[in-house]
Amino acid sequence: MAVPALAVRDLQKTYANGVAALKGIELEVAEGDFFALLGPNGAGKSTLIGITTTLVNPSAGWVEVFGHCVQRDRERALALLGVVPQEFNFNQFETPLEILVNQAGFHGIPRKLARERAEKYLRELQLWDKHAVPSRTLSGGMKRRLMIARAMVNEPRLLILDEPTAGVDIEIRRSMWKFVSAINAAGTTVILTTHYLEEAEQLCRNVAIIDRGRIVEHTTVKQLIAKLDVETFVFDAAAELPAALPEIPGVALARVDGSTFEATMGRAHDLNSVFAALTGAGITINSMRNKANRLEELFVRLVEGNKAA
């Protein structure tokens, strides 16, 4: 049986202030996977990543990276790991080249090879033009890319990205995902946490949703989306809507403004009957779109369900 890239066993963490951040997490991520770890703020994602990278000490349980326990076999486990944290954690007075060469050095990589790799990843992430400027002068998006380059300099087998695109504009975000997808295609296992759920839907094959220190869902992205039984569409009418919206069996209509309304219906419900009813009521539709990302819908439901439980 193949050794998982990440194995988490009965992981618990209670902080000194009494907050129980993790309550017995069990998780496996297969080698080569592009895995999404989702959860609301304070769910325990960063604590789980912190324990995996040894920045947080667990209260109980353990984490293995390719079979090496990060608590007992720290050196071997960390040699296989690259991490992009949520917050900037590099020396802002150093240049990007210095930051990457130093990080390679911390992994025991000889200086010449460290420099070659630093140049390679800075070029791939379009940062080579800035390799000699103090990193404090970089833009937010450049700093995020710098942290990805830094995490890659030891060419890890497992790359953990903790909300790497927070606050990054769409163009840079897309180029970052292109880079990370290529890394994954080349064999690196990637674990991603993000608040942009459409990213998780587009990029990841498997997903775990963590809430209040527990895994509430652990499945494939496809299976998770298959669970979604209703969808909401937003319709823009060509003219002012009538005072009363038509009644359509199996569809709940809700007015948004004078010419916009939402229609919530089962996934199996055909749209032709909806359009026919709207046309019959004298409503001409100019455009329609999905109201929310599908994964987002599920995510909200799971978290709400966990709250109620």
The residues binding another protein (CB under 8 A) are 15, 50, 53-57, 74-79, 81, 83, 85, 87-93, 98-99, 101-103, 105-111, 150, 154
Residues found in the chain: 309
CA 83 – CA 68 distance, rounded (Å): 17
Closest CA to 188 of 234, 150, 236, 154: 154
User: What token pair was written down for 279?
Assistant: 């046309």
Closest CA to 164 of 186, 131, 141: 141
Q: What is the DSSP string of 126-167?
A: T-GGGTTS-GGGS-HHHHHHHHHHHHHTT--SEEEEESTTTT
- Pick between residue 14 and residue 219 the one whose CB is nearest to another protein: 14
Report, in Å, the least distance between residue 98 CB and another protein: 8
Report, in Å, the least distance between residue 28 CB and another protein: 22
Report, in Å, the least distance between residue 138 CB and another protein: 15
- Pick between residue 105 and residue 280 the one whose CB is nearest to another protein: 105
- Pick between residue 39 and residue 50 the one whose CB is nearest to another protein: 50
Report, in Å, the least distance between residue 206 CB and another protein: 24
CA 146 – CA 125 distance, rounded (Å): 8
Q: Is 309 helix (H, G, I), strand (E, B) or coil?
A: coil
The sheet with strand 189-193 has its strands ordered as 81-84, 158-162, 189-193, 34-38, 206-211, 214-220
User: What token pair was written down for 278?
Assistant: 């709207």
Name residues whose C-beta falls within 8 Å of residue 137's C-beta, 6 or more positions apart in sequence.
Answer: 130
Report, in Å, the least distance between residue 146 CB and another protein: 12
Report, in Å, the least distance between residue 216 CB and another protein: 24
- Give the dihedral sign, CA 105/166/299/233: negative
- Pick between residue 118 and residue 237 the one whose CB is nearest to another protein: 118
User: What token pair was written down for 190?
Assistant: 């990637």
- Pick between residue 51 and residue 303 the one whose CB is nearest to another protein: 51
Report, in Å, the least distance between residue 175 CB and another protein: 24
- Pick between residue 119 and residue 236 the one whose CB is nearest to another protein: 119
Amino acid identity of 287?
Answer: S
- Pick between residue 77 and residue 241 the one whose CB is nearest to another protein: 77
